[in-house]
Structures are given as C-alpha cells and as structure tokens.
Structure 1
Amino acid sequence: MRKFQGRTFFLAVMCIFSLIFTGCAEENNKEEVQIPDMDHITIMHVDAGKKEFAEYISQAQKDLNMQITVLEYPLNADSRQAKVSSLLAAGDASVDVFSINDEMISEFKYAGYLEPLQEDVMNRQVAAAFPQDYLKQVVMADEQIYSAPYMMDVLCLWVNQEWLGEAGINDISTKENFMEFLSYDWGKERLAYGGSWEKTYAHNEIGEFINLFGGDFYDWHNPQTQAAVIFLKDMVEEGYTSENNLVDQYEQMNQKFIDGKYGMVFMYGSALNMYVDADVYGQDNIHLAPLPDLGSNTTFIATWQYALNKASQNKEAAKRFISYAISRKGSSLYAEKMNRMPAREDLIWEEDLQVTGYADMREYMKNVKLLARPMPANPMAFIAMQGELFQKYVTGELSLDSYCELMQQLVDDNLVH
C-alpha cells in the first residue's frame, strides 16, 4: 500500500513538472511568432473630408497593411501654405506626408525641410513615367527629387456650347472665330469671357495668354509678350470681360460661369467635377474647347504631389505609402475614386480609366504643348506682386512701358531661366 502511494505521489509530481514545462514552452513559442505592430503614418491632404478620398485611403490601408490618419488643410491657399511651412520649419514630426502643389514645392525644396525621394521612391525607372521637363523645373533641386506627383491638372479653355449656337459659331479654335465670339453682342447681363484676376490668381491667365501669343514670360521686352497683356486689357476696354475680374478668384469665376454669366473661361481640368456636380457638363453645355490659334498652342501643367517631412519618425512607412500612391495601381485607384487625371503619363496614354471626361482630356493633351508655370523660391510673394502690377496696368495706373519694365525687374530678381 505505501509502495502504491509513493508511486502515485511520484507520478503526480511528474505531471505537475510536465504541465509547467509545456506552459513555458507554449509561452516561448508565442513570443517567437508575435506579430509586430502595424505601421502608422499621418498625412495632411487637400482631399481630406471627401467621401471618395476616405474610400481610397481605406483601400490603401488594406493593400499596405498600414494605419493612415488623414488631417485637413485650411481652405485658403495662403493659409494652407503657411500652415505647412510653420510645421516644417519647426521640425514638427506630427505629420509624415504632405499633399502639396507647385507653389509649395517651389518654396520647400530649397528650405531643407523635405526628405529626398530620388534614391528609393522616385528612382530612375519610376521617374520616367512622369513628364520629364516638369520634374526638372518643379520638383527637383540640386539633382534631387523632393516630391512625387500623384494628380495632373492642365489649364484648359472651357466654353458654353449654348453660347456657340446662339452666335452661330462652330468652335473658337481659329483667331477669327475667337474674336467673333468675344465681340458678339451678349446683352447687359452676360460677358463673352470670364477671368480670375485677383492678385494671387492672375498669374495663371497672364502666363497662359503669353503662351498663346508665342511670347516669353522671362522677356518682357518681347513684342509677343507685350501683345498678350495688351490683349487682356483690351478685353476689358472693349467690354468682352469685366474689371470685376480683378477681385475674383476661381470660386467666384466658376460660379458665374456655371450661372450662365460667362461664355468661356480658362480653368484647370479638375474643375470638371464642379461642372458635373452642377449638372452643366456635357457637349451641349460646358465642355473643353481647343485653344484658339493666336500664335502658339501651349498651356500650363500643374500637379499635386506627396512630400516627406524630413522630421518624420516613420520614414520607411511613409515611403511605402508614397510608392504605392504613385504606382500604376495606386494612381489608377486615386484617379477613378476622385475622378481626376493621374500624373503618370504611361497611365494617361495606355489605360482607359473610368474617369469622367477622360477621353476628352486625353484628346486635349494630344494637341497642346504642356509647360510648367514659372515658379521662384518665394512663389506666393512673387505671384502676389505680379498680380498687383497687372491690376495697376489694367486700371490705367501703370502705362504699358512702366508695367513691362517693372515685370522684367521682378522676373530678373526672382526667376532663373
């Protein structure tokens, strides 16, 4: 009996040791296969708050196995640029990736705020998919690429087809038809042309008409450069457009266009979504128009880009996101979700994306020469000063000669050509 009890005690002790050993082994195994924490980045984005963008980010999180927090920008362009500049200058690491435009990158690429992307994100093979002249002029400095474009915008001429029909004009692609449209009697409440000439917006149309006339923005003694700005002032004096343009930004100009107060405007292609939402987009209403033949078939290109905060504590994860966002897959997803043109040229020409107006925009781009806008390292101050000088010229405060001399000095002091 004692022998049996001793054996039982021995077996019980062995079982206890076995359970302890097994538990420890299982615990050790759990540590060996423990899943690492998911990467987490924060981006500040111009599209934040839009349902379609939230859907895009949701898909990106799944594809990357990453958590992405999205922060909103101030609505005003000046406030937006000031916000980013203050965060970057302070070395604030709370935002890893910024969605930025041409004005922002033109300033920030020289300031030492951004992490270069050329070695891994925008290597030679990837960079080849984007407009090369644009990359060199806008996103590069000292042979380094500081941002990665994800969305392309082209400055386009838009016309109201109902107005063309009323004037008995098929299109405005010739100089004769363009002038006939401008000079047609539209009555007191309507104007042939609408502009956005507020001092921080006039830059685009001034440069665009210089392009159309075959002038040179860097040379204000060039007769064609001068002819372009003379034409803009003449449109006001002839009643083709209004001096009210001097206080209008794109928001006001587009609303007047949608309301039927203007027959045509120059506006970026991304405005198509606004026209679609207002139910005025279509071949029988507001649509793209070929550039008038005034000397040169040239227009501006701009992009929105991703830039990596040099102070970021999540650089590798941020680079993974940017690489995804500018890949063919990520670019296609964004373009279709947001109904916008991708920045990748290979996608534009090789894929039929489900984007409203995609075929029209591709056809438009086939027939124009695309240029980057001239941008100095102090873009906002330069643009505002350019706008102030233009307004003084249009209102007669400056003569043509004085205006051109001051513009030449402004260009020489700020732009390297």
Structure 2
Amino acid sequence: MDEALNVLDLERRVLIEVAATVEKEMWEVDFWTGKKVEVRISEEKAKKMDEWYKKWLKARAAGKYKYLKPEWKWIGDAEEAQKVTRINGATGYSIGPAGSLHPHKLATAYLKSALATGQAELYSWSPVQKLTRGEDDELWQVNCEERGTVKARNVIVCTNAHTPHLFRGTDIDDFLTPFQGQAANVTPPPSFSGENYLDTTYTMEEGPYLIATTHAGIILGLYHEVAVEKGILEKKDVFGNVDDSYVQPAAKNWLAEYCKNSFTNWGKEAPGEGAMRFWGGIMCATKDTLPLVGQIPSEQVPEERNQGLYIAAGYHGHGMARIALTSKYVVKLATTGEWDEGMPESFKISQDRLERGRTAPPYITAVDKIGGVTSKILNAVGVGGVQSVCR
C-alpha cells in the first residue's frame, strides 16, 4: 500500500511540476487545470470504488502523506452522479485535481527551451537502429544508419513503444509490448457548448477518457483494455501493432457514437458537429503495468557493459501523468548516480523484475494473432498453452 501511495503522489506532483514550469516559462501549450471525474456505471464497480476510496483515506492518514488533505472525493449517490457527470446510468463518481494540455506543443516547448541553452542538439528524423559499445570504448555509439552515428558517454533510452527492437531477444524485449491506441476529436452540439460545455476531464467505466479542450472541442481516447474486453477490436488489432498511419474502422465507429449514446440530452448532431477527426497512436504496455526506469541491468547488454546506459519507457498509456518528473529523475540518476526519493521504487528496472515478467502472461499469443472465430475456438479448448491477459 505504501508503494501505491508513492505512485499516486508522483502523479499529484507531476501536475504541480508541469503547472509551475508552464507558468514560469510562459509556454503557450493550451494548458488547463481543473477537476477530473472518474465515472462508474455499474453497481459492482461503484461498490468496489467505495471500498478502495476508504482504504486510500485510511492509508493516507496513517503514512508519510498524512500531512496532505485528501484531494479526491468519492460520491456513491447515483442520482448526484448522473446530474454532475451527465452520464446516462452513472452509479457514482470520484472527483479530484487534473490538468490537460496539447502534448505536441509541450514537447516542442521543452525542446526549444533545451536548445536555447546552447548545450543541446536536436537530430530530426534519426531513428536509432542499434546501440553499441566497443571493448575499449568509454562512449556509446548510437547508430542512426544513413543519418550517421552519435557518440555519448550516457544514453537514456526514451523510445517507449519503439524500445524492444534495440534489445531483441532480451528480457526487456519480452517485458515491453507496443500497442495501438485510437482517438477522436468531437465538436459538441449546442446542448454541450457555451455555458453547457463540459467543465471537467473524464474517465468512464467501459468507456474512453475525455478531455474538454480549451478551444478545440472534446478529445476521446479509447483504452486498449476497453477496446478488447468490449469486443470493439481483437487483440491482434491492438497489441504488437506499431503502425500509427491508420484508424481501426470499428474503433472509429465506436468513438463516433459514444457521446450520443452516453451523455444525457446530447441531442442531434448537425453537419460539422460530432466526431470530426480520428487518429491512431502507439503506446507501450509492460508486464506489470509500471514503467521501466533506471540503469539498464548488465544482463541485458552484450558483454554486460551497461555503464552509462539508462531507460525510461513503458508508460502503459499513462505517460502524461508521470513522464515530466520521471524524466527529470532519470537524468539526475544518469548525471549524479543518485536515485531521487521522489521516484517510486516500483518503477526501478532490475534483473529480478524483468525475470518476474517472464512468468507473467503475455498480451498476445500466436493463437490471438490468427484472429476471428478461429482464435476464440482455439483459446477456448486450450490450444497454444498460455492464455494472453489484457491489463
């Protein structure tokens, strides 16, 4: 429980860190701070949330975070939940602090700030093919093929879903699974515009996450777990997929219908309203759902020469809430050798953790890759052995 509190507190501090940085640097990144609601639509999940909330309050009050006033509140009244969230059939909701921004604008702002110091260089369109280090060489060679080779004493691998190919056949390769996510931009009708516009961000049971942007309508994101468990997509469509050039038709249809089917009195959508744009993106799942952060174990590199090689990858679709401080802390580790006490220990990459991952069920199996009715039948009768688990 203590480590769970540490992970949650990191996310609390990330919001504070990003808000302070954006304000100090005066970055224009569409940053917004307010509240988030996490909506439950089943009695079972509402009851479970009530239990978890009480456990969280008790643990917070007894541990090192007892000085903090609980920033989240759980409301288990269905009538109030439906009134506040405007979600049909809501059975309860939690509400707490949150923020949203334009991730590309934020990443660009960080890069511009780094380049302005005169101590950073940016190499665009330089996909890394491999990392090598000679027997007598103190420097890593970052091979970008036709773009050349960069030499560095310290290398931090922050390539997330595109990390496994750098460690083919290793435990890291097995621990990380790329997956494709789906998103949509929704222009709301008058019933949800102007003074009726949503004033919080959302996560919904058996639904998407939702960001009500400051100027560009609503963003919906389809969770990989929801996509698979609701039968919107098959595992072969999601896991192991690194192609972000297209949108899954079934996901597009589901996202297009979500607001109409879920929000009370959404109303009819006129031309130019509703889901207007769709896109895909690639994220990275891990065997235990937590990121791999720290110095890469010697067992994962040739000749066990791991000095100066670090990683921060595998955010499981939850990177926006963790990356800002995780990246800061891994840089501290690389430059000083010190593990910041603000970084959860459960994030630390270790050989033991990677080996435990070998015993965890995969996200996709050879049988899953067949797809369709054939996969369902073969899985039902146990062909292929180990069953995959979505998490």
Structure 1 length-normalised TM = 0.25
Structure (1 or 2) with the greater helix fraction: 1
Structure index of larger Rg: 1
- Structure with the bigger RCO (C-alpha within 8 Å, sep 6+) is 1
Larger proportion of strand:
2
